[in-house]
Amino acid sequence: MSTLSPLSSQPAAQSCAHPPARRMLLASQSPRRRELLSSAGVVFEVQEPGIDDAELRPGPTVNAEQFAASLALLKAQSAWRRHARHSAQPATLVVGADTIVVKDGRMIGKPLDAADAVRIIRLLQGGSHQVVTGVALLDTVTGSRDVFVDKARVALGPLTAAQIDDYVASGQWQGKAGGYNLFERQTAGWPITVQGDQTAVVGLPMQKLLPRLARYGLQPAGPTSPLSTPPAPVTPAA
């Protein structure tokens, strides 16, 4: 099983002198990240990175912020290589992201199966946990990169055994860090509140990302939504 060490450096895009990055590539198979970008009016293409992060574990000195940032960068680099092999006009900005839940100092990723989903939801209910999302932007014209992390605190109230069993039976936990999607669970009436950017919990911290995209020449192509209310639920990727 592979391990990841902390990023040795994370040079950020400090200058506004970047050439306009008019073609953006999202390195993710998450329908929730696509929904957030589309709701903000951002035009983008999608390339799945082809990485199973369930096979990766952090090194002994790596914290959640470093691990999420490392995975985001790894996904962006992998998606770019796959995209460039078959695209006559490759994208000029690649965005990768990864989300990790932290409970009592323990990192929690996506549930492995239904039994694991039950375990995770039981662990999270009745208390609070932190959600950490790392994002990596690769400028394929200049070779520069901008890697950042956003965090939010989520409080999940008590759930009954029937609520947990019904939820897990629905399969909606699949492919989601911590086994849940914030907007879906808010719509379903779960006792869940957030301190911080809700979109960071969903998987893409838009409050920090959109100004960065603007610096790269990417502006929303149409009317934007404030993203202060949950969008319509989306179907998880198979």
Specify the pLDDT at position 92: 86
In a domain? residue 7: no
> Please, which pLDDT band fits residue 26 given cuts at 50, 70 and 90?
very high
Our CA angle for 120, 135, 77, nearest 5°, is: 110
Per cent of the chain over pLDDT 90 is 64
Q: Please state, rounded to an integer, the average pLDDT across all residues of the chain.
A: 83
98 flagged as catalytic: yes
Specify the pLDDT at position 226: 43
User: What is the CB-side half-sphere exposure of residue 196 using CA atoms within 13 A?
Assistant: 22
Work out the average pLDDT over 18-24.
61
In a domain? residue 36: yes
Higher pLDDT, 26 or 88: 26
Work out the average pLDDT over 139-160.
94
Residue 152 sits at φ, ψ, to 5 deg, of: -145, 155
In a domain? residue 226: no
Specify the pLDDT at position 12: 44
In a domain? residue 225: no
Specify the pLDDT at position 85: 84
Beta bridge partners of 129: 154
For the stretch 45-94, pLDDT in tens is 999 888 766 656 665 667 999 999 999 999 999 999 888 888 777 778 99
Domain that holds residue 187: 21-215
Torsion of CA 71, 219, 131, 34, to 10 degrees: -70
Count of structural domains, the chain: 1
Comparing C-alpha atoms, which of 60, 55, 155, 53 is closest to residue 96? 53
Higher pLDDT, 225 or 154: 154
Rounded Cα distance, 108 and 178, in Å: 6
**Three state DSSP letters for the chain:** CEEECCCCCCCCCCCCCCCCCCCEEEECCCHHHHHHHHHCCCCCEECCCCCCHHHEEECCCCCHHHHHHHHHHHHHHHHHHHHHHHCCCCCCEEEEEEEEEEECCEEECCCCCHHHHHHHHHHHCCEEEEEEEEEEEEECCCCCEEEEEEEEEEEECCCCHHHHHHHHHHCCCCCCHHHCCHHHHHHCCCCEEEECCHHHHHCCCHHHHHHHHHHCCCCCCCCCCCCCCCCCCCCCCC
For the stretch 176-229, pLDDT in tens is 999 999 999 999 999 999 999 999 999 999 999 999 999 888 877 654 444 444
Specify the pLDDT at position 15: 45
> Please, which pLDDT band fits residue 159 given cuts at 50, 70 and 90?
very high
Specify the pLDDT at position 58: 63
**Which of the following is catalytic: 53, 98, 146, 197?**
98
In a domain? residue 224: no
Specify the pLDDT at position 228: 42
Contact 132, 202 (CB under 8 A): no
In a domain? residue 14: no
In a domain? residue 147: yes
Work out the average pLDDT over 155-164.
96
For the stretch 82-136, pLDDT in tens is 888 887 777 789 999 999 999 999 999 899 999 999 999 999 999 999 999 999 9
Contact 54, 111 (CB under 8 A): no
In a domain? residue 46: yes
CB atoms under 10 Å from CB of 168, counted, come to 22
Rounded Cα distance, 53 and 141, in Å: 27
CATH code for the domain in which residue 158 is found: 3.90.950.10
